Amino acid sequence: MGSASNGSVRSLPEHVRFAIVGSGFAGIGCGIRLKQEGENDFVILERADDVGGTWRDNTYPGCACDVPSHLYSFSFEPNPNWSRTFSPQPEIWEYLRHCTKKYGVEPHIRFNHAVTEAAWDEEAEVWRLDTEHGSLTADFLIAGVGPLSDPRLPDIPGIESFEGRIFHTARWDHDYDLSGKRVAVIGTGASSIQVVPQIQPLVKRLHVFQRTAPWIVPQRDRRLSKLEKRLYRLFPPAQLAMRAAIYWMRELFVIGFMHPREGGVNEKLAHTHLQRQVKDPELRAKLTPNYRMGCKRVLISDTYYPALQQPNAEVVTDGIAEIKPHSIVTADGEEREVDAIILGTGFHVTDMPVAEYVKGRGGRTMADMWQGSPQAYLGSTVAGFPNLFFLVGPNTGLGHNSIVFMIESQLNYLAEGLQHMKARGADVFEVREDVQERFNGRLQKQLEGTVWNSGGCASWYLDENGKNTTIWPGFTWPYRQQTRHFNPADYALTARRRAPQPVAA
């Protein structure tokens, strides 16, 4: 039964054709696409009170995208007003809000509606969803929850005893003034290296705890001139051409990741960057990665190395042994007193919470089915989970190009699938298990020998079983091709009956 809810919370319908979970690039993009396909019977269930997903949650100083904005945006909604080559978080968040309004998606959103359970009802052949503010049923469930949404907190002994301020980069505490404080940053991933140059000038002491040195290449970010913006406004094909150029340039990067070798062009570029920016040989040695480039996400920054060399900053490479109420103790026994700890320790990617609360046939959760190794067909559909569509699902992540490209490919596939179902009078789709198995067998073979699997590092691209269940294994244009057409032979398509009947092929 749909329930009315209080205050500013909009009521839920009892039943919808599509329930989309999440309102980041994936969820909003999906809402827009459904409307373009003439589908208006949908809700977007959002746990927070605004749209934007990771671009709403990550408000830390310096947060920006490391994919140029001309490409990191919807193809159908170019923005001539980006202020820089690599847009800062507030602009990307604003862009998503703009798209939500412009394309009429806003009325479909139910904010503060965290989904607590989504279960496939085998009798009625619908999804039954429970949210914080009531329940509903849906013909189709679309998960746009994103892999970078749930912060991972490190399991360091004594962490709960810390009496200063402690927060994750994705949950920045804006009420806490870092000025004049002794601050520890744990982690040196994409988030931390953006934070460090911003806070270093403010704080009294900055201790950066590095477990693994990241590969960093020059960023070359710049303001976009008035003339450029004017050109893009008056002559949109110019921006499309720029977008295409950036896309193909980034596609080239992946060659080095698919066929890694020591001392490739990009590794040389990063070494030169390090040598130019860091003169002290001891610090340089600490900052030199000991695995192949691309094994972890390649970072871009012109300001991180300089910040580390300021008199109030240090890089700590001894492992953290313990956190005490007012200090961090490293394995060598040294104790550093700190007022605040910033955790740049990443997200739950391969152990995403959605897998725990989505239940398919037989009431089995995805987590139960996957046993630590997520898999889907084309990163989108999962055997045992009828009428479920995943956006940015298993093995659709990228280390070299824009995820928005992958999302739009998936939306094409979804739209094609829906058209096929309509044409055949089908209500329920389920990918064939053998098709999913074959697809993943091929995909895992392609991943063999790539830098993500054999680059000599431990990364979140690999799951708890050591399997790469996050990365798409190569160029993105073949993914676009593979998702261009929905092949009904890959699926069981049935009409909704008490006893489902196969639909004539």
What is the contact surface with ligand NAP in residues (CB under 6 A)?
64-66, 148, 154, 156, 169, 186-192, 194, 209, 211-212, 296-297, 320, 344-347, 460
> Bridge-partner residues for 126, per DSSP?
121
Which residue number, 123 or 155, has a Cβ lying nearer to ligand NAP? 155
Which residue number, 210 or 494, has a Cβ lying nearer to ligand NAP? 210
Which residue number, 61 or 154, has a Cβ lying nearer to ligand NAP? 154
Tell me which residue of 115, 139, 122 sits closest to 387, measured CA to CA: 139
Whether residue 151 contacts residue 347, with contact meaning beta carbons closer than 8 Å, is answered with yes
Q: How far is the CB of 385 from ligand NAP (least distance, A)?
A: 26
User: What are the angstrom distances between the C-alpha of 476 and each of 50, 378, 398, 403, 481?
Assistant: 30, 12, 9, 10, 9
* Per-residue DSSP letter, 126: E
Strand locations in 169-215 (E): 182-186, 205-209
Which residue number, 187 or 394, has a Cβ lying nearer to ligand NAP? 187
Which residue number, 19 or 343, has a Cβ lying nearer to ligand NAP? 343
Whether residue 419 contacts residue 385, with contact meaning beta carbons closer than 8 Å, is answered with no
> At a CB cut-off of 8 Å and minimum separation 6, what does 128 contact?
117, 118, 119, 120, 121, 135, 137
Q: Which two tokens stand for residue 16?
A: 């919808």
Using H for helix, E for strand and C for coil, what is the string for 398-456?
Answer: CCCCCHHHHHHHHHHHHHHHHHHHHHHCCCEEEECHHHHHHHHHHHHHHHCCCHHHHCC
User: What are the angstrom distances between the C-alpha of 293 and each of 253, 288, 467?
Assistant: 11, 11, 19
Which residue number, 344 or 417, has a Cβ lying nearer to ligand NAP? 344
CA 372 vs. chain centroid, Å, equals 18
Q: How far is the CB of 301 from ligand NAP (least distance, A)?
A: 9
Q: How far is the CB of 65 from ligand NAP (least distance, A)?
A: 4
Q: How far is the CB of 444 from ligand NAP (least distance, A)?
A: 21
> What is the SS3 assignment for 362?
helix
Q: How far is the CB of 423 from ligand NAP (least distance, A)?
A: 38
Which residue number, 170 or 431, has a Cβ lying nearer to ligand NAP? 170
Whether residue 26 contacts residue 96, with contact meaning beta carbons closer than 8 Å, is answered with no
Which residue number, 90 or 107, has a Cβ lying nearer to ligand NAP? 90
Q: How far is the CB of 102 from ligand NAP (least distance, A)?
A: 24
Q: How far is the CB of 35 from ligand NAP (least distance, A)?
A: 28
Q: How far is the CB of 431 from ligand NAP (least distance, A)?
A: 27
CA angle 152, 382, 39 (to 5 degrees): 100
Q: How far is the CB of 94 from ligand NAP (least distance, A)?
A: 16
Q: Which two tokens stand for residue 447?
A: 């991943």
Centre a 10 Å sphere on the Cβ of residue 353 and count the other Cβ atoms it contains.
12
Sign of CA dihedral 291, 297, 301, 307: negative
Q: How far is the CB of 358 from ligand NAP (least distance, A)?
A: 23
Tell me which residue of 30, 11, 49 sits closest to 406, measured CA to CA: 30
Q: How far is the CB of 344 from ligand NAP (least distance, A)?
A: 5
Q: How far is the CB of 328 from ligand NAP (least distance, A)?
A: 10
Q: Which two tokens stand for residue 220?
A: 């070359």
Which residue number, 35 or 211, has a Cβ lying nearer to ligand NAP? 211
Q: Which two tokens stand for residue 4?
A: 């009315």
Q: How far is the CB of 211 from ligand NAP (least distance, A)?
A: 3
Centre a 10 Å sphere on the Cβ of residue 106 and count the other Cβ atoms it contains.
15
Distance, in Å, from the CA atom of 467 to the CA atom of 374, rounded to the nearest integer, reads 9
Which residue number, 5 or 212, has a Cβ lying nearer to ligand NAP? 212
Which residue number, 40 or 85, has a Cβ lying nearer to ligand NAP? 85
Distance, in Å, from the CA atom of 69 to the CA atom of 484, rounded to the nearest integer, reads 24
Which residue number, 190 or 354, has a Cβ lying nearer to ligand NAP? 190
Which residue number, 43 or 156, has a Cβ lying nearer to ligand NAP? 156
HSE (side-chain half, CA atoms, 13 Å) at 490: 21
